[in-house]
Structure 1
Amino acid sequence: MLPSMPAHPASLLILAALALAGCSSGAGNGPAASVPQADMPARCPDIAVRDGTRSLRTQNHSATIIQTTRSCSVIDGRLAVQVRVAGDVSFIGTSPAELPIRVAVVDGASVQYSQLGRQSVTPGASTFTFLDSALRLTEPAGPNVTIYVGFDERN
């Protein structure tokens, strides 16, 4: 468990930008904020941080996911989803960090999409923002479809 630390001013700026950038859910806990019907397809899947994957600690750095957002649009009859993950990072050493972030879409027990991405972070940075814009789903997404994000230490 990582110790609780006060929010860094840069973290607050990222959170503000993400809140304005799209439909969001507070760190993946609960339903997404409402967006006017004209701006959002019939069903944009909920987003959540997978249990046990919110924090990552290595001998050189520690990172915590603090915000998730997703925005949806229909392109060529498919649901195009952009997923953003933002968080705090602290460095113990002077080596850069490669944060392994997985985005997965689950419909009930069926995995529809799973992609491992890497976010580079240099020492001195206190925040990170990751974007996956490759996600395409059959539109509309059903009520059991959920987007999960989190650090993937098994990579």
Structure 2
Amino acid sequence: MAAIFLMGATLAACQSAGDGLDVAGAEKDKSDIERVSFEDLRGYCPTVQLREGTAYFNVYEGDETSQNVRYQAAITDVTRQCKYENGQLAMKVAVAGRVLLGPQGSSGTVKLPIRVAALTGGDEVLYSEIQPYTLEVNASGATQFIYTDSDIRVSQPDARNIVIYAGFDEGPKKAAATN
């Protein structure tokens, strides 16, 4: 019984100390609190997905064989952050991954073609950009990267039907030159 009383007194002392959250003071000063709109509270932020075949990117020295791989890049995670501003949905998409050197690889600069696209459920393209992401790789193992596209803005959706795609994409294949 004495142990329970002692524990209760200790907890009460901890709660009355000045080190904790001052609820009364928080009511007086709200200058550091960011205003949150109703739209932000709705909680709709489109998901980010990888399309089949876009999670890996290989660069070869010559023929496309495993012995000719210069480097291989892989996307390991994607995420997003959303905010409603002036009738638009502003999104920031982050793509994380790593680059491994292959048998023909060496340390230096590599360029990864990363596309981020926003589409409606009916496949209407709202946003689509390919950015060459440059990073330095070294011969001592995997090099990790995080690519961020923070320029995505679409009209405020009236339905929850937007999908964000992220992945490696070299863009349209160039036609062979004819003589």
Bigger fraction of residues in strand: 1
Please give the per-residue CA displacement for 1:71-123, whole angstroms capped at 9, x wherever unaligned. Answer: 00012221110000000111222341110000011112211110011211112
Q: In structure 2, what is the Cα distance between the partners aligned to 1:128 and 1:85?
A: 8
Map 1:50-129 onto structure 2 (within 5 A). 50-59=51-60, 60-91=70-101, 92-107=105-120, 108-124=122-138, 126-129=143-146
Query: Which TM-score applies when normalising by structure 2?
Result: 0.61
CA contact (8 A) 2:78 2:96 kept: yes
- Rg bigger for which structure? 2
CA contact (8 A) 2:40 2:84 kept: no
Given the alignment of the two structures, is residue 149 of structure 1 paired with residue 166 of structure 2, yes or no?
Answer: yes
CA contact (8 A) 1:106 1:147 kept: yes
Q: In structure 1, what is the Cα distance between the partners aligned to 2:130 and 2:72?
A: 19
Larger RCO (CA under 8 A, 6+ residues apart): 1
Map 1:7-46 onto structure 2 (within 5 A). 41-46=42-47
Moved over 3 A (4+): 37-42
Q: Give the unaligned 5+ runs of structure 1.
A: 1-36
Q: Give the unaligned 5+ runs of structure 2.
A: 1-37, 61-69, 173-179
Q: CA deviation at 1:138?
A: 1.3
Identity of matched residues, %: 35
* Aligned alpha-carbon RMSD (Å): 2.1
2:154 to 119, 137, 142: 137
CA contact (8 A) 1:53 1:150 kept: yes
Question: What is the total number of aligned residue pairs between the two structures?
Answer: 119
